[in-house]
A and B are shown apart, each in its own frame.
Chain A
Amino acid sequence: DTGVSQNPRHKITKRGQNVTFRCDPISEHNRLYWYRQTLGQGPEFLTYFQNEAQLEKSRLLSDRFSAERPKGSFSTLEIQRTEQGDSAMYLCASSLEGPGHEQFFGPGTRLTVL
């Protein structure tokens, strides 16, 4: 399967712990996006990479959140000192460059903070 993959698919953690998620985009896609989705809402934009450069971060992304894409391929999203409000589905998407290109989504990582 050459689609977008995310790991882990599920993560349960205790409040205050750090968690890291990984996204592997479609290989030829140079754009990578992170979103957060909660029940009954659409995906909320968190951040975006073009190759290895992080070009935009949403104000939703507090200082506890950091994302990297070190070699322009896979990306990681880390949440430090997790809070119960961080519980959500974290979705990664990738696309080719250009506004009209489809974003292909991965299956997401569901985070539960106890």
Chain B
Amino acid sequence: RKEVEQDPGPFNVPEGATVAFNCTYSNSASQSFFWYRQDCRKEPKLLMSVYSSGNEDGRFTAQLNRASQYISLLIRDSKLSDSATYLCVVRFTGGFKTIFGAGTRLFVKA
């Protein structure tokens, strides 16, 4: 079993739609959680950190469920520019070993 698992998609949604991605992790020693975005042939960039209480940044909402060991990302009012691969990231206690999921591809269509 992979340490971090994501549905690879692709998710094809129309502009304005709401879309949700889930990610599960297997190691309970995981300490920090993030969502990164990666555009085609580009490097990953931080989208948002994920906090235990849940957090929101504009159209993006991230939630963490430690008991069930999953993380979610909700995108509201999808834009064409949201088309990318979304990577779930887990960092272990000690703060250095970082595990990326394989990513979920999103295509937003006009």
Name A residues whose Cβ lies closer than 8 Å to a Cβ of B.
31, 33, 35, 40-45, 48, 50, 55-56, 91, 97-103, 105-108
Give a binary string over B89-110; 1 marks a CB under 8 Å from any A CB, 0 the rest: 0010111111111110000000
**B22 is an interface residue with CB less than 8 A from chain A:** no
* Of B43, B87, B95, B98, the contact of A45 (CB 8 Å cutoff): B98
Question: Shortest beta-carbon distance, B17 to chain A, in Å?
Answer: 24
Name B residues whose Cβ lies closer than 8 Å to a Cβ of A.
4, 8, 31-32, 34, 42-46, 49, 87, 91, 93-103
Looking at A40, A43, A106, the one whose CB has the most chain B CB atoms below 10 A away is A43
Known: A101-B95, A105-B45, A108-B43. 7 other contacts (CB 8 A): A31-B96, A33-B96, A42-B103, A43-B87, A45-B100, A48-B96, A106-B43
Question: Shortest beta-carbon distance, B73 to chain A, in Å?
Answer: 14
B87–A42 CB distance below 8 A: yes
DSSP class of A's interface residues: helix, strand, loop or mixed? Answer: loop
Question: Shortest beta-carbon distance, A65 to chain B, in Å?
Answer: 17
Question: Shortest beta-carbon distance, B29 to chain A, in Å?
Answer: 12
